[in-house]
Homo-oligomer: A and B are copies of this chain.
Amino acid sequence: MSTDMSTSSHHRVNLAAPRGFCTTFKADLKESLFPDDPFNGLQNEKALRKVKKGLVYFVPIFKWLPKYNFRTFLYDLLAGLTITSLAIPQGISYAKLAEIPPVIGLYVSFVPPLIYAILGDSKYLAVGNLAACSLLIKEHIGEVASPENDPTLYLHLVFTATFVTGVMQTLMGVLRLGILVDFLSHSTITGFMGGTAVIISLQQLKGILGMKSFTTETDVVSVLKAVFRHRKEWRWETAVAGIVFLIFLQITKFIKDKKPKLFWISAMSPLVVVLVGCVFAYFGDAENHGIPIVGDLNRGINPLSIQHLNFDMRYFPAALKAGCITGAIAVAEGIAVGRSFGMKRNEQVDGNKEMIAYGLMNIMGSFTSCYLAAGPFSKTAVNYSAGAKTAMANAVMSLFMVLVLLLLAPFFSYTPLVALSAIIVSAMLGLIKYDVAFELLRVDKFDFLVCMAAFLGVAFISMDIGLALSVGLSLLRSLLYVARPGTCKLGKLPDLGLYRDLEQYPNGIKHSGILVLQIGSPIYCANCNYIRERILRWIRDEQTSSRDVVEHVLLDLSGVVTIDVPGIETLGEILKILTGMNIKLGLINPRLKVMEKMIASHFLDKIKKENVFLSAEDAVESCRFSLDRSTENSGLSSARQSDAV
């Protein structure tokens, strides 16, 4: 049996000597960076098995490939074909958003998915480019190089930004800094995606209305102004085509929502729109009728671009900034998408492995004429619905994309821009999640605020500021959590030896003369003033509201995980103040780290061992005993005796 059968009674708090610095430091470091304990069970293995186990751990393909069979491959083949059909229109459309040659968008679905198939930890994630990040890249790189006037420099800087993203993501994975991504909360991502969806949709009015002049600003007001300022450029031909396409796409989505099994209708519809558009444009000579087309899509797979990476210090800061911001967003979104689909099948996705996979695929991508690749929600959803079983679906897509690039690419050069705009708008409308925002509003107002800050900030100011506002609010809340740890007054539940929050359990019993307070975690420099003030206020409140003379204050430290030097000093001050007020201080259940600090700083000698208790019950009993004695000694009629349980 695993149970420790020792029956030696041990009523006292464990006052053993503190652990050494190295022990605690190692434990803390492990909790911070290796919470998933990757090397667990490796220590006692032989060298060869160690390497093998490590390889299986770090390169997920070794986990699933040995068990791979033809039946699974058929599923992945179908899923791969389906996502290829989505990859073509999305690739071209989002590349247009980033103002780079549309063929780059197709390249993205060749090299990166191959790498993800080897290293990716999610089974359902489909690799592709992202609308929001494409726009962000354009915003940042556009500041130092114009995509119209110097398209070559602009393109090279986009590759450089992709390289930066890759290096950053790999480093984050290797250094196990997934903790940083945790601060890009789900509320922030929801608001950010919604905000970018709104501005990207509005920008598509340019394509749908067939306009030529437009603004480079991205906020709602500037975009709407630009749309209405150039009213004379509006063309009914493109508008009609755009609306027809959009209605078609929305109907297929509606069908999918009603009958999830028909998801492939919605998945194929963007390709259908592109094909129909191409056929019309080819035979109808669209360009001469004022309907602009994509143009220039040459045959051939990704050319090398490693020689084009540009580290010129005039431009590099912009590429660095663009790479870091888009990299963080891509990782946060991708991991969230991978996890949420994994969750449906009860499968875990390791954030650190995902970051390394993303990083390497972006580094390789930047060498082979690709730009930022990640795991877009729409493509992944299609992949999941199409029945993908492993990351092989990405490899299949990669193969089909090679065929497209080698054989069909020129055909797609006839794609009318209005078709792309309709596809983008349709995809974007799905990213504005009213229901999530509403749920946030209902359950947690602050989360809603974080979400709205990102949404409104992105829509009305700029993408960076919206994101910064939202992340800032999240951080502020994190700081508030530690600056204002909750304290509460405890009372004894009738008939039970349990002490619980009196606000939550109003029928709890308060012994007169004894105040039991539960302190939140942690106690440290940024909140120790607050904790001191708050404890004194609890005493003041107790003495004024219930006209009770407090003689004992018991602090329940069960929830306090850690404490630092100013925290310990504060406990010392509280002890001193209470002693001055003739109140005795007792501590209940200090935990391991707190006890270690209390011993190291000699606070334990000040408060005395006998005033540290193992449970609230013990502590209150001891206080009542001393109260009874004092009332007996002073000869007062012992009213206190009456509140015995």
Contacts and interface: CB of A to CB of B under 8 A. Distances in A.
A148 interface: no
Interface string A535-546: 011001100101
Given A479-B478, A483-B179, A615-B498, A565 B440 contact: yes
Contacts of A25: 445
A2 B547 contact: yes
Interface in A553-580: 558-562, 564-566, 568-569, 573, 576-577, 580
A631 interface: no
Contacts of A39: none
Contact of A4 (B478, B497, B509): B509
Contact of A566 (B186, B445, B478, B546): B186
Given A2-B510, A474-B525, A481-B524, A21 B445 contact: yes
A58 to B, nearest CB: 17
Contact of A481 (B185, B522, B569, B614): B522
Contacts of A481: 482, 521-522, 524, 562
A504 B21 contact: no
Contact of A444 (B348, B564, B615): B564
A191 interface: no
B592 A185 contact: no
A511 to B, nearest CB: 7
Interface string A1-28: 1111111111100100000010001000
Contact of A537 (B37, B440, B447, B479): B37
A494 B522 CA distance: 29
Contacts of A547: 2
A339 to B, nearest CB: 8
Contact of A8 (B474, B494, B573, B615): B494
A183 interface: yes
A439 to B, nearest CB: 7
B3 A480 contact: no
Contacts of A247: none
A196 interface: no
Contacts of A41: 544
A186 B35 contact: no
A332 to B, nearest CB: 11
B592 A501 contact: yes
A642 interface: yes
A368 to B, nearest CB: 32
A72 interface: no
A609 to B, nearest CB: 16
Nearest to A37: B537
Contacts of A485: 521, 561
Given A529-B178, A529-B351, A565-B440, A592 B504 contact: yes
A269 to B, nearest CB: 31
Pick the most buried of A21, A346, A546: most chain B CB atoms within 10 A of its CB. Answer: A346
A338 to B, nearest CB: 12
A96 interface: no
Contacts of A511: 3
A472 to B, nearest CB: 12
B14 A505 contact: yes
Contact of A479 (B183, B522, B639, B642): B183
A621 interface: no
A493 interface: yes
A481 B507 CA distance: 34
A435 interface: no
A348 B536 contact: yes
Nearest to A645: B7
A504 B14 contact: yes
A496 interface: yes
Contacts of A558: 558-559
Given A475-B479, A559-B521, A2 B486 contact: no
A561 to B, nearest CB: 4
B595 A9 contact: no
Nearest to A573: B343
A57 interface: no
A577 to B, nearest CB: 6
A546 B2 contact: yes
Contacts of A495: 7, 9, 11
A593 B500 CA distance: 14
A120 interface: no
A512 interface: yes
A520 B561 contact: yes
A507 B10 contact: yes
A311 interface: no
Given A1-B643, A446-B564, 11 more contacts: A10-B493, A11-B496, A32-B484, A37-B541, A346-B577, A351-B529, A447-B565, A486-B591, A493-B614, A496-B614, A558-B558
23 contacts: A1-B643, A3-B643, A4-B510, A11-B495, A40-B540, A41-B544, A179-B530, A182-B530, A185-B525, A185-B526, A185-B566, A186-B569, A187-B566, A443-B601, A478-B526, A481-B524, A486-B561, A486-B562, A493-B614, A498-B615, A520-B561, A558-B559, A559-B559
Interface of A: 1-11, 14, 21, 25, 31-32, 35-37, 40-41, 178-179, 182-183, 185-187, 343, 346, 348, 351, 439-440, 442-447, 474-475, 477-486, 488, 491, 493-498, 500-501, 503-512, 520-522, 524-527, 529-530, 533-534, 536-537, 540-541, 544, 546-548, 558-562, 564-566, 568-569, 573, 576-577, 580, 589, 591-593, 595, 597, 600-601, 614-615, 639, 642-643
